[in-house]
Amino acid sequence: MGTKVSYIGILIASGLLCISSSDEKVASEIEKELPNIIYILADDLGYGDISSFNPNGKIKTPHIDKLAEEGMKFTDAHSPSAVCTPTRYGILTGRYSWRSPLKNGVLTGKSKALIPKGSTTVASLLQKAKYHTAFIGKWHLGWDWAQIDTANFGGEGWDAQDFDNLDFTKPVTNTPNDLGFEYAYGHSGSLDMAPYVYVEDGKITAEVNHNTENTGKYTWWRKGPTASDFVHDDVTSNFFRRSMDYIRAKSKEDKPFFLYLALPSPHTPILPSKNWKGKSGLNPYADFVVMIDHYVGQLTKTLKEEGLVENTLVIFTSDNGCSPEADFDVLGEKGHKPSGLYRGHKADIYEGGHRVPFIARWPKKIQPNSIVDQTICQTDLMATCADIIGLDMLENEGEDSFSLVPLFDTGKNSDYEREATVHHSINGSFAIRKGKYKLIFCPGSGGWSYPKPGSDAIADLPQFQLYDLDEDASEKKNLFTSCPEKVNELATLMKLYIENGRSTSGVNQANAPLHLNGAEWHQIKPIVSF
């Protein structure tokens, strides 16, 4: 299973690289031509919260819209999951998270590392092309805190006393630094998950000396240990400041860089800074989105000031749909729909759970004002990076990743190889999308919206759901009973993707059999027995 050496090949063919008998000289020239890559991942930002994607929306995002105007907007982009942790796993590994031990739900702030040490990630792959790699932000993929009593991990609890066994005076292990990131600065889980500390290259940055808790409507977070330098309402700003400092520092070097900026916002706690409160005229959530848009503008301004715009690939997207904590009722009263025309929201198998805004700007490669309607998935980052650096991935790398470079070139889908896309909800329900048809392997939302799993509302519903998204984007007319051939086709393909351990071509790979808590992988049964 290999990627095409398209970008490097174009450089050589066009004479942009100086071919020399010295391999080191050639390598140096390639490094100079390779693009910097910045991946900005918002947290719980809805498809309809970016005005470029939702012209009828009431939240104004001029700086993010500017990225779309100067680059490429993907109207049918999807996170691999409808919640945080599994999406992050998919982005960094090019592999659906349900192939890992995590079959549903998310990790806590205390969870052990989900990605095994030494696994190939986007960062470690780019290191092979001499990229400097950095992570700044919300990790939420687990790392291993030092334990006071090493014989007693203490489980996955949420209460403040559940953290009593953690030793905050010692380094953290199995961190992003062990997965290809030369520099790593961030916190362990979502901003409402203790412990509230920054970890920089495996070391906690300040004394953990108190507990904090907030139970406001928008500013809610769980009670837990907090470091002296951790201020909840400054975390988003802090990550942007550090990212801009990183860009300025790396602009003085010849080698390319990869920055993975994983925001904790606009996820709860919804904490727009003082200067942004009331700016949207809607509610605190909308204010928070406006604040993020401002900082995206500051970051892109920094790229311009440092002369890095032309050969920097900037991707902006979200890890899943908008959370109902944004207060859909208040926003709806003011004419704003965070999911746009799509059904559902964060956690759901419906489109509102995983259809996300996705923008790519790379002036050297992508034509401005480009629009792509092809279905893509965030797992595609690994194959895209491999294509850019001219590297063939191994058989056990990027099992669900397809290069976006052909779309960057033309905006057409003729050479983009993704056959179908798998969606996954918070409770582990599956859906598969091929062309205009989407088959859902459960009777309800699979998440938090009506009809919820286990509720009386789904008792009399068909076992599966089939929708024609071209004709029914809002997923209102279930075609399951009227299109048996299409149902069989998609169910057979989903079963193949599960059994092969991959959706790309290549040697079959193994899926981890059990959830972290030992529960059965129950959501797979109706598929393999179809």
User: What's the CA gap between 392 and 500, in Å, rounded?
Assistant: 20
What average pLDDT does this structure show over 428-446? 97
What's the pLDDT tens digit per position in 273-306?
999 999 999 999 999 999 999 999 999 999 999 9
Tell me the C-alpha distance between 491 and 341, whole Å: 27
CB 518 within 8 A of CB 483: no
DSSP string, 373-399: -S-EEGGGHHHHHHHHHT-PPPTTS-T
Residue with the two structure tokens 């923008």: 359
Q: What is the pLDDT of residue 514?
A: 57
Provide the pLDDT for residue 128. 97
pLDDT of residue 528: 75
pLDDT of 29 reads: 54
If you search the block for the tokens 């489109």, which residue do you land on? 351
**What pLDDT digit, counting tens, does each position of 368-384 carry?**
999 999 999 999 999 99
pLDDT at residue 12 is higher than 70: no
Show the tokens assigned to 488.
């069989």
**Mean pLDDT score, 120-138:** 98
Q: What is the pLDDT of residues 301-331, one digit of tens each?
A: 999 999 999 999 999 999 999 999 999 999 9
Q: 338 preceded by cis ω (within 30°)?
A: no
Per-residue pLDDT at 3: 41
Element (H, E) at 491: helix 484-500
Question: Which ranges of 209-260 does DSSP label H, i.e. alpha helix?
Answer: 235-250
Residue with the bigger pLDDT between 376 and 515: it is 376
When pLDDT is cut at 50, 70 and 90, the band that residue 210 belongs to is very high
What pLDDT sits at residue 468?
98
Instruction: Report whether pLDDT(31) > 90.
Output: no
Confidence class for position 5, pLDDT limits 50, 70, 90 = very low
Split at pLDDT 50, 70, 90, the class of 525 is confident
Distance, in Å, from the CA atom of 374 to the CA atom of 416, rounded to the nearest integer, reads 9
Answer whether residue 515 shows pLDDT above 60: no
pLDDT at 353 over 60: yes
Q: In 3-state terms, what secondary structure has residue 405?
A: helix
pLDDT at 527: 82
Quickly state the pLDDT bin for 501 (edges 50, 70, 90): very high
Average pLDDT over residues 138-151: 92
Q: Say if residue 11's pLDDT is above 70.
A: no
Q: Does position 344 have pLDDT exceeding 90, yes or no?
A: yes
Spatial distance between the Cα atoms of 424 and 353, rounded to a whole number of angstroms: 9
- 255 vs 34, 37, 40, 127, 259, CA distance in Å? 9, 12, 20, 11, 13
Q: What is the pLDDT of residues 478-490, one digit of tens each?
A: 999 999 999 999 9
The model's pTM: 0.93
pLDDT for 412 equals: 65
Contacts of 524 (CB under 8 A, 6+ apart): 430, 498
414 pLDDT higher than 90:
no
Are 160 and 189 in contact by the 8 Å Cβ rule? The answer is: no
Residue 145 has pLDDT above 80, yes or no: yes
The mean per-residue pLDDT over the stretch 500-512 comes to 96
Q: State residue 19's pLDDT score.
A: 34
Output the average pLDDT for the chain: 92
pLDDT value at residue 522: 73
CA–CA gap between residue 226 and residue 209 (Å, rounded): 7
- Overall average pLDDT of the 335-344 stretch: 98
In three-state secondary structure terms, 173 is strand
Predicted confidence at residue 392, as pLDDT, reads: 95
What percentage of the chain exceeds 90 in pLDDT? Answer: 85
Percent pLDDT > 70 in the chain is: 91
| Confidence tier at 413 by pLDDT (50, 70, 90) | low
Contact 97, 319 (CB under 8 A): no
Cα–Cα distance measured from residue 422 to residue 359, given in angstroms and rounded to the nearest whole number: 21
Distances, alpha carbon 177 to alpha carbons 6, 183, 184, in Å: 30, 7, 6
211 confidence band (pLDDT: 50, 70, 90): very high
- CA angle in degrees (0–180, nearest 5) for 79-348-462: 125
pLDDT of residue 271: 96
**Per-residue pLDDT for 15 more than 70?**
no
Q: Are strands 312-318 and 72-78 parallel, antiparallel or unpaired?
A: unpaired
